[in-house]
Amino acid sequence: ASTLFELCANTLPAIFIPYPYAAKNHQYFNAKFLQDQALCQIFTQDSINLDDFLKAMLKLNLEDISTRLQNIVQKNGGDILLEKALSDNLAFIR
């Protein structure tokens, strides 16, 4: 999930090949969130071949995807989380 977040935060389009033995297939399901919004392409290790991979790369509209990825991550999200954590901790201390 952290890799997906970093790619979204930096508006970098990607093609994912999830590790098939990851716990509960979490890499696939994290990437599927983006695929469902036409923001990435997913291949499985057992089904990928060079021809399909190259075709997928050529189909990706990198500029469009990069622009739409800007809407996935909230700007100043780190600041918002920090403020929330500090206010919750201060309320707990009082």
pLDDT tens digit sequence for 22-53: 999 999 999 999 999 999 999 999 989 999 99
Long-range contacts of 52-58 (CB under 8 A, 24+ apart): 53/15, 56/15, 57/15
| 2-93 CATH fold | Rossmann fold (3.40.50)
- Above 80 in pLDDT, residue 3? yes
Among residues of the chain, what percentage have pLDDT more than 70?
94
For residue 16, what pLDDT is reported?
A: 94
Boundaries of every domain in the chain: 2-93
Q: Model's pTM, two decimal places?
A: 0.73
| DSSP 8-state secondary structure symbol assigned to residue 41 | E
